[in-house]
Amino acid sequence: MIVMTDTKQLLQGLQEYYTSLERHLGELRSEYQQLENSWRAFNSVAEGHYADQFRSGWLRTQAQFQEYINQSEKIKVLLGERIEILSQLNREEGSTP
């Protein structure tokens, strides 16, 4: 059985997902910036063994967060490309008699 997909519905869903991903990334960056500012304030005055342990944990967290952002950006680019291709397909189908 072959199922025909309504490309306009698919396009709308991809666009909604893209918008949601952009919003999510914006919120993450904003919240992360606040957290990083707090980290910098703490790091400038923290000393001792506990501070060293915390620093180590923070650096791992920072690297993992950056990796998450980088992967999300790759998804966003790929999604944008697919949206453009699907939009073009829909325009071509719409102009066909």
What global pTM score does this model have? 0.77
Provide the token pair at 17: 């997902």
Confidence of residue 96 (pLDDT cuts 50, 70, 90): low
CB of 83 within 8 A of CB of 15?
yes
Pairwise CA distance, residues 77 & 82, whole Å: 9
- Report which secondary-structure segment, H or E, holds 77: helix 48-95
- Predicted confidence band at 2 (pLDDT cuts at 50, 70, 90)? very low
Task: Return d(Cα 6, Cα 37) in angstroms, integer.
Answer: 47
Angle, vertex CA 71, rays to CA 30 and CA 39, nearest 5: 35
